[in-house]
Structure 1
């Protein structure tokens, strides 16, 4: 990896085989989240999430985004930020046949490039952080090239239970056409200062994933489709137990209801304060 210096901020570390130019960034300067760059994800499959929240999201004055774990009564909440939105999340707002409401304007959409985050990870199990890419209409075309791919650059939901981090791709939507050929699982190794770098080089040939300056692996055809459409960025957290994918307190009512649970047992034991802290998010184009 080669260093790319940013004045008055931590550098980026980019694949050395290529030349890069900065295309988009958020250094989280100032005293509040720049909402000209970020939306809040509050709905999931058209239903209001009981755990995604604006509360606990702040900028700390030291150029860091802080997404804190918030406890209110017996429930937990945390933030889910994105520069665009998934079409299927938009609640229906008419009596007609159209199943989605009015589109939320994207703040940033981009195709190809190197996507990097520098962050400190949550300390407690029971909730997780992620840095990923999504397309508004993922799964809406038979060829993912034309509707997008879910690219998980970093997920830490196995960090505390198995000592593993995850990255990889899935495409074809989330039903019977979904294709998830397998994520890379690699050991979590703490750094001396607690800061970590995660990134992906997405180009027309495939995806190369990096963690703390090391290449984790490559995914591409024929096992993994490559998106050729603009996608948005997500910097997210999620409390386990509410979504049936992250806790055994949930059941499916047969109508796709993902939100029927309560906090996972390990989340109830969380020692607060705890937060996902982000120093920067940057996007580079190859030149």
Structure 2
């Protein structure tokens, strides 16, 4: 059992217990779920976290005051096989869940993403064999430090690549990945059996940083659910707690990874054209926004396990129950004071900043 210095680990079981009690008291299932959600949030806030942003995916449409859609056939910079669309067949809200669905269908769209000066949403110059969706909170939900918590059920099959992640809202330290990337959860090819081994079941938490591509680096750690459970079979809560100089990863409130500023860095080209070192805690000292997407194939999912894309498994969906963002009321400026830490977790070995040669 973990030795946690704060007690968030009861939250998931508390949700189910509270829901059962409320239903037995005569409330409707919807009322019971709402009351159970309120109870869980209240208990998290008792540890000092303050809920500042959330989407419970109620109603029958995506809340465009919180999310924008990527629309492109760019391939994510990873040679992915999907075009992202804003169509309801690729992203929809129903029954209290967001579904992001990858379909096997030929589709045409812009060859670049919307950060490119030549981007035209009406461009159809690139055609790919799959469609999916990417939701982005940029300029609608942007935060520096906090607890970011997402309850989701993941897709399965060779070529599936669901991701819950964060990018900088302002690229203060230059283009990707000099300004950083925080991957709350990524998984590829879940439930795929390779060479008679156990089905793929790993989820990953990762940081990308360093310099502009291709001189970027990354560090991270994988995690397997207990008792050989698979993330594609049920909902689980994926979270990071991000404070000054430290980021921690959790699944179902199990703290499984920590990275610290002593193990990350950023170097970028300044206004004079010189390569310079960013501050010690850069690049993870600026506001970031959240992204939810399901990619297909590409440089990771398409190159591991049985490789390629198994088109027979599609359509596949990532289902999201909620997204909740908390900030630490004890010290909002540093994000510290509300943390949940398993002291047995050894921080991930990071990368050393290279010397700048004059």
TM-score by structure 1 length? 0.73
Distance 2:75 2:132 in 1: 18
Tell whether the 8 Å contact from 1:148 to 1:231 is kept in structure 2 after alignment: no
Tell whether the 8 Å contact from 1:117 to 1:281 is kept in structure 2 after alignment: yes
Aligned pairs (5 A) from 1:168-207: 168-180=206-218, 182-188=219-225, 189-190=229-230, 194-207=234-247
1:247 and 2:302 are equivalent in the alignment: yes
1:149 and 2:183 are equivalent in the alignment: no
What's the CA shift for 1:190? 3.3
Tell whether the 8 Å contact from 1:138 to 1:171 is kept in structure 2 after alignment: no
Aligned pairs (5 A) from 1:49-68: 51-55=83-87, 56-60=90-94, 62-68=95-101
Q: Which residue number in structure 1 is paired with residue 64 of structure 2?
A: 35
Aligned pairs (5 A) from 1:66-105: 66-73=99-106, 75-84=129-138
What's the CA shift for 1:218? 0.6
What's the CA shift for 1:221? 2.1
1:232 and 2:272 are equivalent in the alignment: no
What's the CA shift for 1:270? 1.1
Q: How many residues align?
A: 243
Q: Which residue number in structure 2 is paired with residue 269 of structure 1?
A: 312
Secondary structure at 2:83's aligned position in 1? coil
Tell whether the 8 Å contact from 2:150 to 2:238 is kept in structure 1 after alignment: yes
| Unmatched runs of 5 consecutive residues or more in structure 1 | 85-105, 249-263
Tell whether the 8 Å contact from 1:158 to 1:164 is kept in structure 2 after alignment: no
Tell whether the 8 Å contact from 1:139 to 1:172 is kept in structure 2 after alignment: no
* RMSD between superposed Cα atoms in Å: 3.3
1:24 and 2:53 are equivalent in the alignment: yes
CA gap of 1:132–1:191, structure 2 versus 1, over 3 A, is closer
1:13-51: per-residue Cα shift (whole Å, max 9, x none)? 98899411101000011110001100112244999x852
TM-score by structure 2 length? 0.60
Q: Which residue number in structure 1 is paired with residue 326 of structure 2?
A: 284
